[in-house]
Amino acid sequence: MVKESSYYPLLIKLVKYPRLPSYLVILMIAIIMLLVLILAAYLDGIFTRLLEWSLWRNFLDAPVLIIYILIMYPFIWRLWRRSLQALRLLLPIDEGISNQSEIEVPIPNRRWEWVAILIGVVFWLSLWQPWGWNDRWEPGAIWLPAYEVVTQTTLFGLISLLIYSSFTGNWYLNRLIRQHVKPDIFNTGMLTPVASSSLGFSIACIGGISLSLAFQTQEDLLMWKNIIVWVILVCFAVLIFFLSMWSTHCTITKVKSHELNLVQKYLNTASHELKERAEDSSLTGKDELSSTITAWLNYERRIKEVPEWPYNASIIRRLVASTVVPAIVYLLKISSGLGLPF
């Protein structure tokens, strides 16, 4: 029997490894990173500058985002598990037992998780090239540059792991939906947890973008290339919301098409029979046929009214509201550039 811990993603397993409450482990990590920053500033001889916001802004953005990911990732994972449980309820009865093993929480591939982290680290090192940042750090500084490199590479490693986990999780759900799930056409709300899981990941991404904006300088905020990147990232988070539900959308559309074809078949049969009786001047069963046609027309109307995406108005409102947050943070940062320490 596989241990339950084997089903945990790497990040959650690392947090659970000390056998302490997760919130306590995250708090300890935050305190350690803060103390190491203070120690690095002391060793580099700029301990007296700790009250300057510019120093905090340069070296605290990565630690804050790391803690943010550590806090948000378990929530995203639980939403994903909830969507998986919702899909289990939609398995046909004859498949509910035979395919039970295929619907269980998959065991993460540890090797590929570490590869994803390495890709994030290499990406940051190759793109930002910290060995050429002589003008960014204080002359003679050693420990603060090392602190920034370690925290930034850790951050991008976690971001890469988060992206990998999201794509593999969505791929697994989409495969299950395509191969096994047969939803009730009039109860597509059973698939709403899938939309909630997608919403959780999108909001987490947008929240990270908003948080990163708080550590940008006025110069960075006004650079067009940075603005374009942030807009693209927000659009990407929204796009992920819809892409992760594409298989669900296709499944609902397929079921609707099947039901509509069935309705057309029965409507054509009943209509031809009604026409033949009218031509033969036979009134026998005419009222029953008319009622049957009316019933099938009402059934057809109900099918056409079924939404083809498994989200509701509340989910869309939260998605739209979340996309406004980065814009608000950006405008507040710009407007506060005349004196506030941002």
- Tokens 């739209």 -> residue: 320
CA dihedral 115, 117, 119, 122 (to 10 degrees): -130
Nearest to residue 6, comparing CAs of 152, 75, 105, 130?
Answer: 105
Q: Is there a domain that residue 338 lies in? A: no
Contacts with 57 (C-beta within 8 Å, 6 or more apart), sequence order:
215, 217
Q: How confident is the model at residue 338 (pLDDT cuts 50, 70, 90)?
A: very low
Work out the mean pLDDT of the chain and round it to a whole number: 78
Residue 342 has pLDDT above 50, yes or no: no
Indicate the residue among 123, 148, 182 that finishes a domain: 182
241-258 b/e with 16+ CB inside 10 Å = b? beebbebbbebbeebbee
29 with 177, same domain: the answer is yes
Indicate the residue among 126, 156, 182 that finishes a domain: 182
pLDDT of the residue at 52: 67
Spatial distance between the Cα atoms of 61 and 215, rounded to a whole number of angstroms:
6
Q: Is there a domain that residue 166 lies in? A: yes
pTM, 2 dp:
0.76
Domains identified in the chain, total number: 2
Spatial distance between the Cα atoms of 327 and 27, rounded to a whole number of angstroms:
29
Q: Which amino acid is at 230?
A: W
pLDDT of the residue at 98: 46
Q: Is there a domain that residue 137 lies in? A: yes
63-104 pLDDT tens trace = 999 999 999 888 888 888 877 777 777 766 554 444 444 556
Spatial distance between the Cα atoms of 234 and 330, rounded to a whole number of angstroms:
13
217-234 pLDDT tens trace = 777 788 776 777 678 778
pLDDT of the residue at 92: 62
Domain assignment of residue 55, given as a range: 1-97+110-182
Spatial distance between the Cα atoms of 213 and 150, rounded to a whole number of angstroms:
21
Spatial distance between the Cα atoms of 190 and 186, rounded to a whole number of angstroms:
10
177 with 266, same domain: the answer is no
142 with 3, same domain: the answer is yes
Mean per-residue pLDDT, 326-331: 85
Cα dist from 7 to 2, 13, 14, 108, whole Å = 8, 9, 13, 6
Residue 154 or residue 166, greater confidence = 154
Read off the DSSP letter of residue 107: P
Residue 2 has pLDDT above 50, yes or no: no
Half-sphere exposure of 137 (CA within 13 A, CB side): 21
Residue percentage of the chain with pLDDT more than 90: 9
151 with 58, same domain: the answer is yes
Q: Is 277 helix (H, G, I), strand (E, B) or coil?
A: helix
pLDDT of the residue at 101: 45
Q: Is there a domain that residue 208 lies in? A: no
pLDDT of the residue at 15: 86
Spatial distance between the Cα atoms of 171 and 8, rounded to a whole number of angstroms:
17
Residue 315 has pLDDT above 90, yes or no: no
Contacts with 34 (C-beta within 8 Å, 6 or more apart), sequence order:
63
Q: Is there a domain that residue 64 lies in? A: yes
What token pair was written down for 142?
Answer: 């050693």
Mean per-residue pLDDT, 131-158: 77
166 with 262, same domain: the answer is no
Q: Is there a domain that residue 150 lies in? A: yes
159 with 261, same domain: the answer is no
Residue 248 has pLDDT above 90, yes or no: no
**Cβ–Cβ < 8 Å for 120, 157:** yes
CA dihedral 182, 187, 193, 196 (to 10 degrees): 120
Indicate the residue among 182, 211, 229 that finishes a domain: 182
Residue 12 has pLDDT above 90, yes or no: no
Residue 283 has pLDDT above 70, yes or no: no
Which range of 49-58, 137-146, 156-165, 187-196 scores highest in mean pLDDT? It is 156-165
Mean per-residue pLDDT, 115-142: 75
Mean per-residue pLDDT, 125-131: 75
Residue 198 has pLDDT above 90, yes or no: no
**Cβ–Cβ < 8 Å for 153, 121:** yes
